[in-house]
Chains A and B, each alone.
Chain A
Amino acid sequence: MSPLAQILLAGIGTYLIRVSFIAFSGRLQSIPPRVELALSMIPPAVLASIAASGLLLQGDELRGLDEWHIAGLATALVAWRTKNVALCLSVGMAIVWAIGP
């Protein structure tokens, strides 16, 4: 299958995920509590998987200890204490630039 067809298929599938509950709104009065619970776990689980593998892995090996670890920790701390996205990203990037090669 050509890359273009794969992109299109992924795009259609992604739209269907996005429209899933929106399309049924009004008809579906309430979401079963178990489904709602599982849904609520998706963002922390998926986002943390992507963040951890992006931060800690290089290819399929663990990264050696470097400025990314320190900056990643600082980004998480600022995000937790302030909930200010711009501030925590600026702090993270500033640390990487300051102590990077």
Chain B
Amino acid sequence: MGAGARRIFPLTIIAGPVGLIYGVTAVENGLSEFETIFASFVIMAAAAQIALVQLIGDESSWAVVVGTTLIINLRFALYSATIASTFAEFPRRWRFALTHVLVDQTAMIALREFETERDPFYRHWFFLGSVLFFVTPWVIGTTIGALLGGEISNGWQLGFAVPATFIALVVPSIKNRPMLVAALVGGFVAVAASFLPNGLNIIAGAFCGIAAGVIAAPTPEPGS
């Protein structure tokens, strides 16, 4: 557990402020403190939650709110696929509980560690350690943000922590040229489509980026 905690530590420092920003954004968009904190437990995904509360604040229809949140979270399907063989060796309860806390940061750190560490017992404790040290500051940050609401000063520039976190995540996620194409096209389309309402520009960027990356990749050999 200690090793997981140590590896996640750099990201622990950022989980608090990002939780804080989400909490403030949620309350400013008219959510109650309870709803704000509840979402951090049941959705457990910062970017999707920030989009969700902004859409609720804009009084979007529930289908747009839930649909956008799920599309932003679609990347978890990849983590699910890459970590499935590891999780298969965990006891059932561990497997389905740890699934809920599979987020960008815990997945990336775990996949890196599991390249060299094969023992399932070590692995599930490692994962739990990283999760505890990530989720705790996230929930504390959310709670403080929800309680303070608009009292947080803009002078702190905390807002920059959100794009900064995503820059820090996207750069190492690019491992080859087609992935670079996916990121560049995705980012460009998201900005160019800013006229679209309800955060649909992010969805447009995501789909164009994925399509561009698939087209840029060499055709996979059948049966390979």
Contacts and interface: CB of A to CB of B under 8 A. Distances in A.
Contacts, number: 273
A88 B207 CA distance: 28
Interface stretch (B8-16, B122-130, B136-144): B8-16
Contacts of A75: 164, 167-168
Contacts of B80: 17-22
A45 B183 contact: yes
Nearest to B174: A44
- Say what secondary structure dominates the interface of chain B: helix
Interface in A66-101: 68, 71-72, 75-76, 79-80, 83-89, 92-93, 96-97, 100-101
Q: Could you say which interface size class chain A belongs to?
A: 35 or more
Contacts of B32: 3
Nearest to A14: B73
Contact of A14 (B14, B45, B84, B224): B45
Q: Could you say which interface size class chain B belongs to?
A: 35 or more
Nearest to A54: B163
B132 interface: no
B20 interface: no
Nearest to B65: A6
A19 B102 CA distance: 9
